[in-house]
Amino acid sequence: MAIERAGVVGSGLMGSGIAEVLARAGLDVVVRDISEEAIASGRTSIEKSLEKGVQRGKLSAEDRDAALARLHFTVDMADFADRQLVIEAASENEDVKKAIFAELDTVVTAKDAILASNTSSMPIIRFAQATGRPDRVLGIHFFNPAPVQPLVELVVSELTDPAVVDAMDSFATDVLGKVTIRASDRPGFVVNALLIPFLFSAIRMVEAGHATKEDVDLGMVNGCAHPMGPIALADRVGLDTCLFVGQSIYEETGDPAAKPPVLLSRMVDAGLLGVKTGRGFYDYSAT
């Protein structure tokens, strides 16, 4: 199936990024959110991102305008009726996501359409079971910022049709220009299952006073050739996101390496979430 019409549920940070990726790849894209205010914010984010692409010479003005013309925004889930692929990128709340998949199952008319979630850690099978087509459901996990980061994780549940996975693999690589890896439906999939314990270990080191955040980051950048230290990376991912993913992994596996550090929980309680709020472990208010 050649996918020409796609949908994205959610126009936040990840939803708007995914919608931009799809539109730039030539697809007709419907983006749905719960309010006109949310839609306006998502549209503005996409416009700014595309403009940056033009300024940096990564995108022509004509391609920018063409991508914007392919984007359509709505508050009505019924507008996904003719979509061949819908990617859910709503908030990381299992009940919310289940309800979205149940509704998508009723409004997306093509029975061969593919329904996907961009969740970073939740079990795909739970969303699949909310539909009458669990074989057509999988995880398509983009990384932030979606227009820049090359990786997409394809997450396969126990009921996902292998042909659907193959089709999405070809679509992500050949149409979207992404690099794909496949993961089983386990907490954290591949990347976060490795990354979160690493970030938490670094935070615990700072929490215990073994080293400063600056020295932890300098050590990994200059000693292990990492492009960014783990504390700075946690700020960039979002400390609330790190906390949520860690909690999800820990609750299902009991792995102590994924248990969130107390310091991380307290920072999230204080609203210090990293780059997106202007302050996390580091202060970004002047940048």
Residue 82 pLDDT greater than 80, yes or no? yes
Q: 174 with 203, same domain?
A: no
Q: Is 26 labelled a binding residue?
A: no
- pLDDT digits over 146-156, tens only? 999 999 999 99
Give the chain's mean pLDDT. 96
Q: Which band of pLDDT confidence, cut at 50, 70 and 90, is reported for residue 126?
A: very high
Does the annotation count 93 as an active-site position? Answer: no
Does the annotation count 226 as an active-site position? Answer: no
The 3-class secondary structure across 174-217, one letter per residue, is: HHCCCEEEEEECCCCCCHHHHHHHHHHHHHHHHHCCCCCHHHHH
Q: 179 with 198, same domain?
A: no
Q: Which band of pLDDT confidence, cut at 50, 70 and 90, is reported for residue 286?
A: confident
Query: Looking at this protein, which amino acid is placed at residue 170?
Result: S
The answer to whether residue 287 sits within a structural domain is: no
**Boundaries of domain holding 197:** 192-277
121 Cα distance to chain centroid: 10
Q: Which of 49, 157, 192, 248 is catalytic?
A: 192
With a threshold of 0.75, does the pTM exceed it?
Answer: yes
Residue 1 pLDDT greater than 80, yes or no? no
Looking at residue 51, what is its pLDDT?
95
Annotate 208-274 with DSSP letters as a single string.
TTSS-HHHHHHHHHHHH--SS-HHHHHHHH-HHHHHHHHHHHHHHH--GGGSPPHHHHHHHHTT--B
- pLDDT digits over 163-208, tens only? 999 999 999 999 999 999 999 999 999 999 999 999 999 999 999 9
Q: What domain count does the chain have?
A: 2
Q: Is 274 labelled a binding residue?
A: no
Q: Is 13 labelled a binding residue?
A: yes
Q: 167 with 34, same domain?
A: yes
Q: Which of 16, 141, 157, 248 is catalytic?
A: 141
Q: 35 with 168, same domain?
A: yes
- pLDDT digits over 88-122, tens only? 999 889 999 999 999 999 999 999 999 999 999 89
Q: Is 17 labelled a binding residue?
A: no
